[in-house]
Structure 1
Amino acid sequence: MSEQIIEQLSELVSPAYADCDAQSLLIRSSALVSCLKSLNRAANTATRTKKDETTAARQEMDQSHLGLQNLLYEKRHLEREIEKCRQFASVYQDIPLYTMDEFKQLAPEEARTPAALEDEHQLMLNRLSFELAERQRLNVKRLELVQAKEELLKRSRTNVNTLDSVKSHIDALVKTASDIQKKVDELVQPLPASDDSISMVTG
Structure 2
Amino acid sequence: MAAAAPLVTDPSLQSVLAAADLARTQSLAILDLLDAHHAADSDPDPTSQQLALSVQQRKLETHLAQLRGLNRRAVLGVRSTKQETGEARQEIDALHLQLQNLYYEQRHLRGEITGCEEYDHIYTNLPLTSTEEFLVAHPEHADSDEHDLTIARIQDEHAARQQLEEQRQVLQKRKEALLKETNAKKEDLGKLDAEMEKWIAGESNVRKIFDAKEKKARDAEERANS
Could you state the TM-score of these two structures normalised by the residue count of structure 1?
0.60
Spell out the pairing of 1:1-203 with structure 2 (5 A cutoff): 1-2=15-16, 3=18, 6-7=21-22, 10-11=25-26, 13=29, 20-91=51-122, 93-96=124-127, 119=148, 123=152, 126=155, 130=159, 137=166, 140-141=169-170, 143-172=172-201, 174-175=203-204, 178-179=207-208, 182=211
Looking at structure 2, the residues matched to 118 and 84 of structure 1 have their Cα atoms a distance apart, in angstroms, of: 19
The amino acid of 2:116's aligned partner reads: C
Compared with structure 1, are the counterparts of its residues 134 and 23 closer, same or farther at alpha carbon in structure 2 (3 Å cutoff)? farther
Looking at structure 2, the residues matched to 55 and 128 of structure 1 have their Cα atoms a distance apart, in angstroms, of: 65
Alpha-carbon RMSD across the aligned residues, in angstroms, is 4.5
Looking at structure 1, the residues matched to 75 and 129 of structure 2 have their Cα atoms a distance apart, in angstroms, of: 83
Higher RCO by CA contacts (8 Å cutoff, separation 6 or greater): 2
1:5–1:36 contact (8 Å) kept in structure 2:
yes
Identity %: 21
1:20 alignment partner, SS class = helix
The amino acid of 1:72's aligned partner reads: Y
Could you state the TM-score of these two structures normalised by the residue count of structure 2?
0.56
Q: Deviations over 1:73-97 (max 9, x none)?
A: 2211221122123222245544556
Q: CA deviation at 1:64?
A: 1.5
Q: CA deviation at 1:36?
A: 0.8
2:120 alignment partner, SS class = coil
Q: Deviations over 1:143-181 (max 9, x none)?
A: 534532441232022122122023224424543554465
2:51 alignment partner, SS class = coil
Compared with structure 1, are the counterparts of its residues 165 and 175 closer, same or farther at alpha carbon in structure 2 (3 Å cutoff)? same
Q: Which consecutive residues of structure 2, in runs of 5 or more, have no partner in the other structure? A: 1-14, 34-47, 138-143
Q: CA deviation at 1:184?
A: 7.4
Compared with structure 1, are the counterparts of its residues 167 and 130 closer, same or farther at alpha carbon in structure 2 (3 Å cutoff)? same
Q: Deviations over 1:26-68 (max 9, x none)?
A: 3442232111111011112222322332332233223222321
Match of residue 201 from structure 1:
none
Match of residue 112 from structure 1:
none
1:89 alignment partner, SS class = coil
